[in-house]
Amino acid sequence: MAFSASSPKEGMHFSDRANATLFPTDDPTLISFDYGAPGPTLLPTSLITLAAAARFARPDASNALQYGPVTGDKEFRYELARFLRREYGDEDVDMERLVVTSGATQAFFNLVTIFTNPATVFLLEDPTYFLAAKMLRDHRIPSSRMVAIETDAETGIRVDLLSTALDSLSARDPQPPDVAGTYPYVLYLVPTHSNPTGSTVPTPHREEILRLARKHNILVICDDVYQLLHYDTATPPPKRLVAFDDLAGETGGNVISNCSFSKIFAPGARLGWIEAPKRIVDAIKLAAVSYSGGSPNHLTSNLLIPLLHDNHLHTHLTHLRTQYSARLTAMLTALDTHLGSTPGVKIHRPKGGYFVWVELPADVDTTLLRKRVVEGLQSGEVGQQRVTFKQGADFSMSGDGCRNALRLAFAYYEPEVIAEGVRRLALVLRAVGVGV
């Protein structure tokens, strides 16, 4: 029997089904500051319809449904490079150094597979994007090969501590095993408007990271999914770290910029790109995971060709920046109003990205607090406030740090909802003695 969303089986209503998305967004009474995703009103449903009509009206329509070239559709990469040169303000973006991916998550997983060996040591920011650490565990990498480097909530990874850690690692193991095509060290970073703290690594620190990467033969995987989401129009963000590497020359090969359309277009597109020096792009081309199946998400990348070509994506991104900026302002204003003068509370003020990091007095345990809030969603004083957040410990490399911190995502809701959510959060905090 033919089955379509417009003729649902009796009793099944897919549009309001629980778990229709990754997040339980079907509960209208809950304000969840967990959701690191664009809100529904920001998703480009009309653009995707336009894109599909334009792409499939072309005489070469069937190519979009064929296996794609290994590094991705040439026309898409041409248009993407043009878009990025404009958005980054950097003439050096070259389509030959872009590789199409199915988003930053799967690209990271593949990069670990391609470029590491059983002795590779992984250096991670602490706190870090929790799913990156989990992906390393999924690769069965033991904690003895993961080194946590303390991170500043404003300026990102502590470069001085990174340097000391590398010196002691190389003193312990002066000649790390040289397995062709792999790296002895991988440094995973979210250098711009990070998840979770919103920190951005300043330019001089980026230069120092590159120097260390050259010295110790490190592959720096930059999770750059927030690089284009900068809201402080008075000051541009630092250049992405890959731009400090020798992109075109033979000496380059230490930095990868791992990017995504999830935050600037639609997470459901499952589309992203890697920008990397020639040596790295050549190695990706040779990997079986790239060759078998060709370019990931060839169809979606083809849909984006007309949107990039006609500058719809530029217009959309400009719109998103305005909207996200208003949401960030709404969150910071509400936090200042309700918690600004509370002793022991530190509200970090990112200039972009998706997240605000809040530190609470040392005796507040946000893991326990979240548990109480979530359990109390049915009953109880704290739980009467239908608001959730991500506990700081989720991002801690030891699983036990940042217990007095929480991460609030501001991209999902309209400003009024954000203001209401923060009001509820302040009530939750009052109930456990913060600011009383």
Ligand X SMILES: Cc1ncc(COP(=O)(O)O)c(C=O)c1O
Contact residue for ligand X among 44, 73, 93, 105 (CB under 6 A)? 105
Select the span of 98-106, 155-163, 202-210, 298-306 touching ligand X (CB under 6 A).
Answer: 98-106
Select the span of 99-107, 303-311, 371-379, 410-418 touching ligand X (CB under 6 A).
Answer: 99-107
Place of tokens 């740090």: 401
**Measured from the CB of residue 276, what is the shortest distance to ligand X in angstroms?**
16
Place of tokens 């040392």: 362
- Max intra-chain CA distance, the chain: 68
**Measured from the CB of residue 2, what is the shortest distance to ligand X in angstroms?**
32
CA 427 from chain center: how many Å? 30
**Measured from the CB of residue 270, what is the shortest distance to ligand X in angstroms?**
7
Binding mask 294-333 for ligand X (x = CB under 6 A): ----------------------------------------
**Measured from the CB of residue 60, what is the shortest distance to ligand X in angstroms?**
28
- Which residue, 68 or 103, is less far from ligand X as judged by CB? 103
Task: Decide: is 114 part of the binding site for ligand X (CB under 6 A).
Answer: no
Contact residue for ligand X among 24, 39, 69, 267 (CB under 6 A)? 267
Task: Decide: is 195 part of the binding site for ligand X (CB under 6 A).
Answer: yes
Q: Could you tell me how many residues of this chain bind ligand X (CB under 6 A)? A: 13
Q: Are 187 and 242 in contact (CB under 8 A)?
A: no
- Which residue, 295 or 385, is less far from ligand X as judged by CB? 295
**Measured from the CB of residue 298, what is the shortest distance to ligand X in angstroms?**
17
Residue 413 per-residue DSSP state: S
**Measured from the CB of residue 146, what is the shortest distance to ligand X in angstroms?**
17
- Which residue, 200 or 260, is less far from ligand X as judged by CB? 260
Q: What is the SS3 assignment for 220?
A: strand
The residues, ordered by sequence, that sit 6+ positions from 371 with a Cβ below 8 Å of its Cβ are none
The tokens describing 89, both together, are 């303000």
Task: Decide: is 39 part of the binding site for ligand X (CB under 6 A).
Answer: no
Task: Decide: is 213 part of the binding site for ligand X (CB under 6 A).
Answer: no
How far is Cα 189 from Cα 206, in angstroms, rounded to an integer?
11
Contact residue for ligand X among 72, 272, 277, 352 (CB under 6 A)? 272
Task: Decide: is 190 part of the binding site for ligand X (CB under 6 A).
Answer: yes
Residues in the chain: 436
Task: Decide: is 192 part of the binding site for ligand X (CB under 6 A).
Answer: no
Q: Are 335 and 107 in contact (CB under 8 A)?
A: no
Task: Decide: is 36 part of the binding site for ligand X (CB under 6 A).
Answer: yes
Task: Decide: is 223 part of the binding site for ligand X (CB under 6 A).
Answer: yes
Backbone angles phi, psi at 414, to 5 degrees: -65, 155
How far is Cα 183 from Cα 228, in angstroms, rounded to an integer?
28
**Measured from the CB of residue 257, what is the shortest distance to ligand X in angstroms?**
12
Place of tokens 């959701």: 35
Task: Decide: is 262 part of the binding site for ligand X (CB under 6 A).
Answer: yes
Task: Decide: is 227 part of the binding site for ligand X (CB under 6 A).
Answer: no
The tokens describing 353, both together, are 């990205």
The Cα-based distances of 403 to 126, 155, 345 in angstroms read: 13, 20, 13
Select the span of 103-111, 234-242, 379-387, 418-426 touching ligand X (CB under 6 A).
Answer: 103-111
Task: Decide: is 197 part of the binding site for ligand X (CB under 6 A).
Answer: no
Nearest to 34 by CA among 434, 368, 402, 354: 354
Q: Are 227 and 243 in contact (CB under 8 A)?
A: no
The Cα-based distances of 424 to 53, 123, 326, 400 in angstroms read: 44, 37, 20, 26
Contact residue for ligand X among 35, 83, 115, 129 (CB under 6 A)? 129
How far is Cα 281 from Cα 279, in angstroms, rounded to an integer?
6
Residue-wise DSSP of 95-122: GGGEEEES-HHHHHHHHHHHH--TT-EE
**Measured from the CB of residue 355, what is the shortest distance to ligand X in angstroms?**
8
Q: Are 388 and 34 in contact (CB under 8 A)?
A: yes
- Which residue, 31 or 190, is less far from ligand X as judged by CB? 190
Select the span of 4-12, 179-187, 259-267, 343-351 touching ligand X (CB under 6 A).
Answer: 259-267
Q: Site residues (CB under 6 A) for ligand X?
A: 36, 103-105, 129, 190, 195, 223, 225, 260, 262, 267, 272
